[in-house]
Amino acid sequence: MASVEIIRVGPAEYGLVCDLYNAVFRPPQDAAYIERRLANRTNLVMVAELERRPVGFLCSYELRPTTFYNWLIGVIPDARRMGIASQLMAAEHAWARARGYEMSRLECYNQSRAMLSLAIRHGYDIVGIRWDSHTSGNLIVFEKSIEATEPPVE
């Protein structure tokens, strides 16, 4: 597993986060996409750097007073399978737990096998399915208690 430096970033770095997003997801978005979703919410945006090179990101925000929502997480293709997403997720859980949040929630599409595996490895339970009218697809909804100790990062 590669050891990365995880840095909390703010709105001034949303352009960098957007560049990382566009290296992972389609269709491409601009920084305003991230800013709109996070505006007026308690949020956490982190970038993972490997040897001073940004290779991954995580964007999350308060869904309810006790629940933090992992909205986006991604690692650029040439840095995958190194444990970077696991390190980002563990850092998010530690940050949220330290601020009194009890639960973490995330959603992903069934075809996102790597994300499904990551969620299960980190102790998330499937709690439902939600229809996404924007993409005309089902999202699997996961939740986990973040009061408990994190499982070991693989």
pLDDT, one tens digit per residue, over 43-58 is 999 999 999 999 999 9
CATH number for the domain that contains residue 13: 3.40.630.30
> What is the model's pLDDT at position 136?
85
Higher pLDDT, 29 or 154: 29
Q: Is the pLDDT of residue 132 over 70?
A: yes
Range of the domain at 27: 5-107
Q: Does some domain include residue 139?
A: no
Domain count for the chain, please give it. Answer: 1
Q: Does some domain include residue 112?
A: no
Q: Does some domain include residue 132?
A: no
Task: State the average pLDDT over residues 19-37.
Answer: 96
Full-model pTM: 0.92
Q: Does some domain include residue 125?
A: no
Q: Does some domain include residue 145?
A: no
- The DSSP-derived string for 116-141 is HHHHHHTT-EEEEEEEETTTTEEEEE
Look at the chain and count its residues: 154
Residue that is written with structure tokens 């293709």 in the block: 77
Task: State the average pLDDT over residues 91-118.
Answer: 95
Distance, CA of 54 to CA of 101 (rounded, Å): 28
Higher pLDDT, 137 or 41: 41
